[in-house]
Amino acid sequence: MAEIKYEIIEEIGVLSENARGWRKELNLVSWNDAAPKFDLRDWDPEHNRMGKGITLSREEAQTLMTLLESRLK
């Protein structure tokens, strides 16, 4: 399996943390030197290991925000 290269460009925020110290985070991440995307996933405390997550373009993040705002009112 090919190595995945990533760089956390900006740490936006932490949504939660479990008992082992892993945190569900929203970050701006560049994957394999591509343009950064919004990324939501679990990370270990050192950002060396990660769980499954999702990446969103700016447009997808805006659409998600609109959908959430309409449901949370």
pTM (2 decimals)?
0.89
Q: Is the pLDDT of residue 53 over 80?
A: yes
**pLDDT value, residue 35:** 97
Number of domains in the chain: 1
For residue 1, being part of any structural domain is answered with no
- Partners of 43 in beta bridges: 23, 50
- Only one residue has tokens 């929203």, namely 26
CA dihedral 46, 51, 52, 53 (to 10 degrees): -40
Q: Is the pLDDT of residue 24 over 80?
A: yes
Enclosing domain of residue 43:
6-71
Q: What is the CATH number of the domain that holds 32?
A: 2.30.31.70
